[in-house]
Structures are given as C-alpha cells and as structure tokens.
C-alpha cells in the first residue's frame, strides 16, 4: 500500500492545473495519497516494532487452497462470460463451484450438481431477461 500510494503520488505531480479552478485535479489526490502513505508507513513501523515482542500465533486451521481455487474458478467465470455468454458460463461455473465445495459421490451426486447448475442458469436468465428486462452477457463465440 505504501509503495502503491507513493507511485500514484508521483503520478499526480504530472497533472497540470486548470486556470479556471484555483486548485488543480491533483490537489485532492495528493492529500489522500499523502495520508495513505503516512498511515501505511505508520503501520509498517508499528508492525516492525511489535514483531520483536510478539509471540507467533498458532496458525488457524483454514482451507486456503479451497479459497484460492474458488477465486480461480470465479476468475475463469468472469473471463468466460464475454466468450461463452451468460447461460453456458453460469452452468459451468455453478457446477464446478458446487462440485468443488461439496465433491459429489456417485451418479446421484453428479446429477444434483448438474441440476443445480442448469436450474440456476435457466431461472436467473428467465427472471432477468424475460421479466426484469435486464440483458445478460452474450458470448462472442457462442452467439447466445
């Protein structure tokens, strides 16, 4: 955060003032980024000072791999929307996410995954496109 705010602060120095406005477009960003950089620095120093005296906390039993895979899946879904369209990418995403969170056992489990995925895509598409006149993404590859 410290480095990001410093880089952005540097970029604001290149912004030219407007003769119509007494303070230019870089004035407020400089204040905000200056405050952000100062607070980040404060946090870094406080953290470094506290680390010496602090005992390491026991690592919580969290499934970060699952979180990472869920984010990856969501990233792929976002990317697929433009190419595959809403319906197909939603079916694939819901099926994959459901299977990832609760791995199906046997044909019945896979049937449940497929049913949830198809129903989600179909019902949301029906409600939003038909009744709420919200146009959902079309795929450039699929055309629907």
Partner 1 sequence: MFELLGAGLANIVQAKYLVPLFIGTLVGVVGGALPGITITMTVIVVLPFTFGLEPLQGLAAMIGVYVGGETGGLITSCLLGIPGKPSAVATTFDGFPMAKAGEPGRALWLGVWASIFGGLLGAVFLVASTGPLATLALAFGPWEYFSLFILALSMVAGLVESSLVKGLLSGAIGCVVTILGNDPVMGKERLTLGIKFLEGGIPFLPVLIGVFAFAQIMSEVQRMGGGRKALQAVDRGLSLAVSHLRVMWEILSRPVLLLWSTFIGLVIGVLPAIGGSAANMLAYDQAKKFSSRPEKFGTGIPEGIIASEASNNANVAGSLVTIMAFGIPGDAVTAVMLGALTIHGIQSGPLFISQNATLAYGMFAAYIVAHAVALAILLPGVRWMLRIVDIPKAILFPVVVVLCVIGAYALNNTVDNVYVLLVFGVFGYAMVKFGFPLAPFILGVILGDQIEINLIRAVMSDSDPWLFLTRPISGGLLLASVLSFAAALWQHRRVQNRTAAAQGDADF
Residues that bind partner 1 (CB under 8 A): 1, 5, 8, 11-12, 15, 18, 20-23, 25-29, 32-33, 35-36, 39-40, 42-43, 46, 61-64, 66-67, 70-71, 74-75, 77-78, 81-82, 90, 93-94, 97-98, 101-102, 116, 120-121, 124, 127-128, 131-137
CB of 18 to partner 1, least distance (A): 5
Residue placing its CB nearer to partner 1 in the complex, 18 or 142: 18
Report the residue number, 65 or 107, with the smaller CB distance to partner 1. Answer: 65
51-90 burial, b for 16+ CB within 10 Å, e for fewer? eeeeeeeeeeeeeeeeeeeeeebeeebeebbeebbbbbbb
Measure the CA–CA gap between 121 and 127, rounded to whole angstroms. Answer: 10
Q: How far apart are CA 41 and CA 26, in angstroms?
A: 22
Length of the chain, please?
144
**Minimal distance, residue 142 CB to partner 1, in Å:** 15
Return the number of the residue (21 or 48) whose C-beta is nearest partner 1.
21
Tell me the closest approach of the beta carbon of residue 108 to partner 1, in angstroms. 14
- Least separation in angstroms between residue 113's CB and partner 1 is 9
CB 113 within 8 A of CB 104: yes
Who contacts 9 (Cβ-Cβ below 8 Å, separation ≥6)?
29, 30, 33, 34, 37
Nearest approach in angstroms of CB 24 to partner 1 is 8
């Amino acid at each position: 955060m410290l480095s990001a705010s410093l880089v952005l602060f540097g970029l604001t120095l290149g912004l030219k003032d407007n003769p119509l406005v007494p303070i230019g477009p870089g004035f407020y960003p400089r204040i905000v980024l200056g405050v952000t950089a100062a607070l980040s620095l404060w946090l870094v120093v406080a953290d470094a000072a506290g680390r010496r005296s602090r005992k390491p906390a026991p690592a919580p039993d969290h499934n970060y791999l699952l979180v990472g895979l869920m984010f990856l899946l969501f990233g792929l879904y976002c990317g697929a929307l433009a190419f595959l369209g809403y319906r197909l990418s939603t079916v694939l995403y819901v099926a994959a996410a459901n299977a990832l969170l609760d791995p199906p056992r046997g044909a019945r489990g896979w049937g449940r995954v497929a049913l949830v995925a198809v129903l989600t895509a179909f019902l949301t598409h029906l409600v939003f496109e038909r009744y709420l006149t919200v146009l959902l993404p079309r795929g450039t590859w699929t055309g629907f």
